[in-house]
Amino acid sequence: MLNSVLIQAPSRRGYAWVNVKSSPRLSPVDRSEMLRALQWGRLDELPAEPRFARQNKGRKFGDLLWTTGPTKIASARFVSVLDESRATGYSTFPVEVENPPGIVLPRYHGLVVFGRPGDDCFSIMPAEQHWKFGITGALLRDLRAAGADDFEILEDSSASAASLPR
- Distance separating alpha carbons of residues 97 and 105, to the nearest angstrom: 5
Q: Are strands 51-54 and 96-98 parallel, antiparallel or unpaired?
A: parallel
pLDDT in 10s for each residue of the chain, 166 residues: 468 999 999 988 899 888 888 666 667 777 777 778 888 878 788 766 778 888 888 889 999 998 878 889 999 999 999 999 999 999 998 888 988 888 888 899 999 999 998 999 999 887 788 889 999 999 999 999 999 999 999 965 554 333 333 3
pTM over 0.75, yes/no: yes
> Phi, psi at residue 99, to the nearest 5°?
-170, 110
